[in-house]
Amino acid sequence: MSRTSSFVVASLRLPIDISVDECGNQVVSSSPGGLVSALRPVLAQRDGVWVGWPGAIDHELAPMKLEGLSLHPVALSQTDFEQFYEGFSNATLWPLYHDLIVTPEFNEQWWETYRQVNERFAQAVVECAEPGATVWVQDYQLQLLPQLLKQARPDLTVGFFLHIPFPSVDLFQQLPWRRELLVGMDAADVIGFQLSSGADNYLQLRQSLLEPEELQRTPVVRDFPISIDYGSMAARAKQARESGAVEALRRRLGNPQAVLLGVDRLDYTKGISQRLQAFRQLLDQLPNHDPGSVVFVQVATPSRERIDHYRATRDSVEQLVGRINGECAAVGTPVVHYLHRSLSAEELAALYAAADVMVVTPLKDGMNLVSKEYVACHEDGSGALVLSEFAGAAAQLNEAHLCNPHDVPSITEAMLQALRGGGVVRNSDDAVSDAQARMSLMVDNVRMFDVHRWAQDFLDLLEVK
């Protein structure tokens, strides 16, 4: 039986993993992440409920309590997964919101399934919400939910936060269902975006698409840049250093002079191919370097691999890795180390701590938390960050070596500047001092504006509203 609460979170995914043990029994375990770190204390304090899909197709789960969190699962069928998730969410909205890096597909059946799934989420939230409850809706998969909730339960206070970029007016206008999506979001009391530019785009769109009587209602629209659980990430990096994991990792890489690192979902928006091309150019520009003295580690987490553009991205990246190693490596000493799998939080922290330069080059990104995770692992001022101008994080981490991810030589030059600060390329003491100052400023920023502050800032404004 569903339990009710005065505080409900709705997101596509619940923070759980479902697996099968050796005896064939289903095992439900907690899945860590930045959002759950931010919301766990709020949910615990208010005895809140989290509504979402558990991650397994055609799988009915009863409401449950797991590690102190009350969870209300919403089931998705195979058709829902294909049309709502792979289709409308990730082959229509995702490319459109990321500046048409690939062409979005407009499919009437996908839209209908998207609408139906949002209605199912609305029913689940209504079941869980006490009179006058606060509901916080997360991300682009649930853009219709605020209006559906307000229609069913006008007593609810509803917030909506978009984790990905919000497009310009001319891009959004391409959507055949542009008005329905806008009206769906606009019913929220507070609408949050990663950047002020997203909020500005939204406000312009309201003026273009809404009727005069609809414009009389004025939700709060502003930016709330999301962040990470700084304390947890810094503690993992400290543990990795003290346990010898960082030293062992560099030893397995051949004790290179410098380790450059990329960590991404394998997604066409992440600029992985451009980054690897830039590294290939970098190797030609390094004076007197031996094969393996400067290496690149690329972690590419599997993502949406049933979608054609994602399969093509994987093929392109893996061919490029092979070509670079074929041209530049020696026997037993690859220059690019490529991992196509997920890593644990502890493994990631060790990699971040071991890396001299973090290279984050998305072609478009709402925020990019990898850049902030890396910074949190370098409290001592070591390391350097190469960051795309088109990542939302660039607005906060402007001490990074910023680059245009569409311009391969720009990425190469940023990598060179980062290596000079680390002493790998001939430099001066001033360059090293500047590098430490850059990192220290970014550490201060990420420590101060962490994910807990992000959640508190949003909820403070929502509950005043």
Residue-wise pLDDT tens digits, 312-325: 999 999 999 999 99
For position 26, what pLDDT does the model report? 63
pLDDT digits (tens, 9 = 90+) for 348-359: 999 999 999 999
The pLDDT value given to residue 19:
61
CA dihedral 13, 14, 15, 18 (to 10 degrees): -90
Q: 5-226+452-463 with 230-449: one CATH topology?
A: yes
- pLDDT tens for 34-82 read 677 778 878 888 889 999 999 888 778 889 888 888 999 999 999 999 9
Overall pTM surpassing 0.95 (yes/no):
no
Residue 269 is predicted with a pLDDT of 94
For residue range 240-249, list pLDDT tens digits in order: 999 999 999 9
Contact 357, 386 (CB under 8 A): yes
Q: What pLDDT score does 27 carry?
A: 66
Q: 97-119, pLDDT tens digit by residue? A: 999 889 999 999 999 999 999 99
Write down the pLDDT at residue 1: 58
Write the pLDDT tens digit of every residue in 398-425.
Answer: 999 999 999 999 999 999 999 988 656 6
Helix axis angle for 345-354 and 369-376, nearest 10°, is 70
SS3 label, residue 148: helix
Mean predicted lDDT score pLDDT of the chain: 92
Quote the percentage of the chain above a pLDDT of 70.
Answer: 94
Say whether pLDDT at 121 is over 80: yes
Check if the beta carbon of residue 337 is closer than 8 Å to that of residue 355. no
Give the tens place of pLDDT for each residue, 275-290: 999 999 999 998 777 8
The pLDDT score that the predictor gives to residue 303 is 81
pLDDT of residue 426: 57
Neighbours of 330 (CB within 10 A): 11
Q: 230-449 in CATH: which number? A: 3.40.50.2000
pLDDT(209) > 90:
yes
- Report pLDDT for 184: 98
For residue 443, CA distances in Å to 291, 407, 409, 436, 440 come to 33, 28, 28, 10, 5
Q: What is the pLDDT of residue 299?
A: 96
Q: How many CB atoms within 10 Å of residue 280?
A: 19
pLDDT of residue 314: 93
Q: What is the pLDDT of residue 422?
A: 65
pLDDT at 275: 98
User: pLDDT over 90 for what percent of the chain?
Assistant: 77
| Average pLDDT for 306-315 | 86
CA nearest 348: which of 330, 371, 372, 374? 374
pLDDT at 125: 98
Of 397, 376, 375, which Cα lies nearest the Cα of 387?
A: 397
Q: Quickly list DSSP for 184-207.
A: HHHTSSEEEESSHHHHHHHHHHHH
CB of 432 closer than 8 Å to CB of 423: yes
Res 427: pLDDT: 60
Q: What is the mean pLDDT of residues 132-157?
A: 98
Can you give the pLDDT at residue 306? 80
Q: Report domain extents, the chain.
A: 5-226+452-463, 230-449
User: 51 near 27, Cβ under 8 Å?
Assistant: no
Query: Which band of pLDDT confidence, cut at 50, 70 and 90, is reported for residue 308?
Result: confident
List Cα–Cα distances, 454 to 248, 269, 395, 465, in angstroms. 35, 25, 15, 17
Answer yes or no: is pLDDT of 162 > 90.
yes
Give, in order, the Cα–Cα distances in Å from 52 to each of 33, 109, 184, 230, 331. Answer: 15, 22, 18, 26, 49
Question: Who contacts 267 (Cβ-Cβ below 8 Å, separation ≥6)?
Answer: 303, 304, 310, 313
Fold for domain 5-226+452-463?
Answer: Rossmann fold (3.40.50)
In this prediction, residue 32 carries a pLDDT of 61
pLDDT tens for 356-386 read 999 999 999 999 999 999 999 999 999 999 9
Q: CB–CB of 129/156 below 8 Å?
A: yes
pLDDT over threshold 90, residue 123: yes
418 closest CA partner among 437, 397, 432: 432
Range of weakest confidence among 18-32, 131-145, 287-301, 403-417: 18-32
